[in-house]
């Protein structure tokens, strides 16, 4: 990074900076914990000899240190090759019509609050509004330490049960939305895109109306003919930048598709998502007739629904990471 010309290629330089941040997020907390553990040990020896009252404060410090140690242990569970990468994070409405589009809006609020609390940076790549209310689908680019590793734990169908605000009879409705997460790869990813395999369309990005409506066709939609995968991006005013972002997402999706064919673990992970409807949900958010959020993969649950919808989802992610590590260990033991 201190070498001449490092910032000549801004995009490549940014990739190095991101990798540095990811490594620091692993190493620095562990080094700090080691230093504080040694300090605590020294203070304990002094307190035993001269100040027994100090032991009460040291016990509190030890509790705090133990919690931080548990967080570092969780970081150790994020050991897959792509876990440290930034990601493309998508939410799509499923069965339930307008209800599901509104549910996507609620999930978007939940996740952006989680991003803010964890100091993740995020930007909108593409959004399709719902026909009457809410959002039909949205894709974000999320960057920060272990962004893909943590957010990939949210991949799957999320189910909401509540009294519908769109039903004049105040009946209870069930809505579904699917969350998907792809790692963002560097330019050197080994995926070849042939020009004849791509159908690229340019169109005017949607806006708020009036002076905000785009006058040029800057939004980009790309169809990969052999697989039928479609990606689009409209957040930038530059057609060139939107095309570059779309190609990045397409490469990520093609890479994961190849991994899915070769890697049974990833195939299992994506297979869990299934159809965006009843019977495939990974998590249920029940607001009526009682209040409960339950993850069906780990059985972790909480009655504090408001807290969860305000972005407090770390416990669900932690529980899934532990469950995944346990499954991996069992698979290894069975092979042994």
In this structure, the answer to whether residues 177 and 266 fall within a common structural domain is yes
pLDDT of amino acid 223: 93
**Which pLDDT does position 210 carry in this prediction?**
41
> Six-digit token pair at 248?
């990045």
- The last residue of a domain, from among 53, 77, 101: 77
Q: Answer yes or no: is 82 within a domain.
A: no
How far lies 66's CA from each of 69, 82, 137, in Å? 5, 28, 41
User: Could you tell me if 33 and 146 lie in one domain?
Assistant: no
Whether residues 172 and 273 fall in one domain: yes
Tokens 């159908």 map to which residue?
Answer: 199
Do 107 and 232 lie in one domain? The reply is no
Please indicate, yes or no, if residue 224 is contained in any of the structural domains: yes
| 218 and 324, same domain (yes or no) | no
- Taking residue 157's Cβ as centre, other Cβ atoms within 10 Å add up to 25
Tell me the residue range of the domain where 327 lies.
87-186+262-335
Q: Of 157, 202, 184, 204, give the one whose Cα is nearest residue 250.
A: 184
**Does one domain contain both 45 and 92?**
no
**CATH number of the CATH domain containing 212:** 3.30.160.20
Dump the DSSP string for 113-132. Answer: HHHHHTT-EEEEEEEEE-SS
Consecutive H or E run containing 202: strand 198-203
Q: What is the CATH number of the domain that holds 324?
A: 3.30.70.1660
What percentage of residues in the chain have a pLDDT greater than 70?
87
171, 40: one domain: no
| pLDDT value of position 148 | 94
Please tell me the distance from the alpha carbon of residue 203 to that of residue 222, in angstroms, as a whole number.
11
Residue 170 lies in a domain: yes
Which residues of the chain are under the pLDDT cut of 70? 186-190, 206-216, 262-279, 330-336
CB 141 within 8 A of CB 184: yes
Tell me, rounded to whole angstroms, the distance of Cα 10 from its chain centroid.
25
Asked if residue 3 belongs to a domain, the reply is no
Answer whether residue 4 is part of any domain. no
**What separation in angstroms does the CA of 297 have from each of 135, 191, 300, 320?**
27, 33, 8, 7
For residue 199, give the H/E element and its range.
strand 198-203
Residue 179: its H or E element = strand 172-183
By C-alpha distance, which of 289, 320, 293, 294 is closest to 306? 293
Instruction: Kindly give the residue spans of alpha helices, DSSP state H, lying in the chain.
Output: 10-50, 54-77, 98-117, 147-151, 239-262, 264-271, 305-309, 314-335
Q: What is the pLDDT of residue 211?
A: 41
Same domain? For 37 and 175 the reply is no
| Domain end marker among 240, 258, 276 | 258
- Give the C-alpha separation, 222 to 258, whole Å: 19
Q: Are residues 108 and 147 both part of a single domain?
A: yes
How much is the pLDDT for 204?
80
Instruction: Report yes or no: 181 and 88 within 8 Å, Cβ to Cβ.
Output: yes
The helix (run of H) or strand (run of E) holding residue 224 is strand 219-224
CA 243 distance to own-chain centroid: 23
Number of alpha carbons in the 13 Å side-chain half-sphere of residue 258: 9
Quote the CA–CA distance of 310 and 109 in Å, as a whole number: 7
| Contact predicate 138/253, CB 8 Å | no
pLDDT at position 265: 46
- The alpha-helical segments, DSSP class H, found in 78-166 are 98-117, 147-151
For 255, residues 6+ apart whose C-beta sits below 8 A from its C-beta are 183, 185, 189, 191
Residues 105 and 48 in one domain: no
Q: What is the pLDDT of residues 234-293, one digit of tens each?
A: 888 788 889 888 988 888 888 888 777 755 543 444 445 445 655 578 999 999 999 999
Contact 293, 160 (CB under 8 A): no
- Boundary-marking domain end, from 77, 101, 119: 77
The pTM score is 0.74
Phi, psi of 188 (to 5 degrees): -85, 15
Residues in the chain: 336
DSSP state of 278: T
Residue 155 falls inside a structural domain: yes
**Within a domain: residue 282?**
yes
Residues 247 and 156 in one domain: no
The answer as to whether 1 is a domain residue is: no
Say how many C-beta atoms besides its own lie within 10 A of residue 54's C-beta.
14
Same domain as 180, residue 244: no
CA distances (Å), origin 43, targets 36, 48, 173: 10, 9, 58
Total number of domains in the chain: 3
């Amino acid at each position: 990074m201190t070498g001449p010309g490092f910032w000549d290629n801004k995009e490549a330089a940014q990739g190095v900076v991101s990798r540095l941040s990811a490594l620091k997020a692993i190493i620095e907390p562990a080094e700090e914990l080691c230093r504080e553990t040694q300090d605590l040990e020294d203070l304990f020896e002094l307190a035993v000899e001269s100040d027994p009252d100090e032991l009460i404060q040291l016990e509190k410090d030890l509790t705090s240190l133990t919690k931080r140690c548990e967080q570092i242990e969780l970081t150790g569970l994020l050991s897959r090759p792509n876990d440290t990468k930034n990601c493309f994070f998508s939410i799509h409405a499923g069965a339930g019509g307008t209800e599901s589009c509104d549910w996507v809006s609620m999930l978007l609020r939940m996740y952006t609050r989680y991003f803010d609390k964890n100091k993740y940076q995020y930007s909108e790549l593409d959004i399709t509004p719902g026909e009457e209310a809410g959002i039909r689908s949205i894709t974000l680019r999320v960057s920060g330490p272990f962004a893909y590793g943590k957010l990939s734990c949210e991949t799957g169908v999320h189910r909401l049960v509540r009294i519908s605000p769109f039903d004049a009879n105040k009946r209870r409705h069930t809505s579904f939305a699917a969350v998907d997460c792809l790692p963002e790869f560097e330019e050197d990813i080994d995926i070849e895109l042939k020009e004849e395999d791509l159908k690229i369309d340019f169109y005017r990005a949607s806006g708020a109306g009036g002076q905000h409506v785009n006058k040029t066709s800057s939004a980009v939609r790309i169809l990969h003919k052999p697989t039928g995968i479609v990606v689009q991006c409209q957040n930038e005013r530059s057609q060139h930048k939107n095309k570059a972002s779309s190609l990045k997402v397409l490469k990520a999706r093609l890479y994961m598709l190849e991994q899915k064919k070769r890697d049974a673990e990833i195939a299992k992970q994506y297979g869990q998502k299934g159809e965006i409807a009843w019977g495939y949900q990974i998590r249920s958010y029940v607001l009526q007739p009682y209040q409960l959020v339950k993850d069906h993969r780990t059985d972790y649950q909480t009655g504090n629904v408001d807290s969860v919808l305000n972005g407090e989802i770390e416990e669900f992610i932690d529980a899934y990471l532990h469950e995944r590590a346990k499954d991996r260990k069992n698979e290894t033991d069975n092979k042994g």
